[in-house]
Each structure stands twice: as structure tokens, then as C-alpha cells.
Amino acid sequence: MIHKIKALHDNGQGLSVRAISKQLSISRNTVRKYLRLSEAAIHGQQSDPSRTKKLDDYRSYLVYL
């Protein structure tokens, strides 16, 4: 989602924050937040091993299907 927002914005040459939020049906504040993130911050946020998910306990079963 973050990369899609950045691609649509294209360093100010693409869609506006408002247009992106309408197209993706998300808040303008969320769009602004993601546009302010650097590539390093995005990568760090997505690959954080301490972040747990509700379905982690069932991962082996889901992968098996």
C-alpha cells in the first residue's frame, strides 16, 4: 500500500493527496503519513520481527493449505 501511494504521488508530479485518498478509499491523513516516510523507514517498519500478527499461530496450517 505504501509503495502504491508513493507511485501515485510521484514526488508531487502525480495525483494529489486528496485524489489518492479517494482512489484508495483511505484517509488523507494516512496518505500524508505514508508520503512523509523514507524508504529506509518503510523497509524497517515492514520487516520488524517483533511485530506479531493474530494469524502467526496458524501460519503453518495456512501455508499447508
Q: What is the pLDDT of residue 40?
A: 80
What are the φ/ψ torsions at residue 52 (nearest 5 degrees)? -105, 155
Domain range list for the chain: 1-47
Global confidence as pTM: 0.63
Q: What is the pLDDT of residue 1?
A: 81
Give the count of beta carbons closer than 10 Å to the beta carbon of residue 38.
8
Q: What is the pLDDT of residue 32?
A: 94
Flag residues of the chain having pLDDT under 50. Answer: none
Q: What is the pLDDT of residue 25?
A: 95
Give the count of beta carbons closer than 10 Å to the beta carbon of residue 64.
6
Which grid cell is 32? 500524508
Give the count of beta carbons closer than 10 Å to the beta carbon of residue 33.
12
Q: What is the pLDDT of residue 29?
A: 96
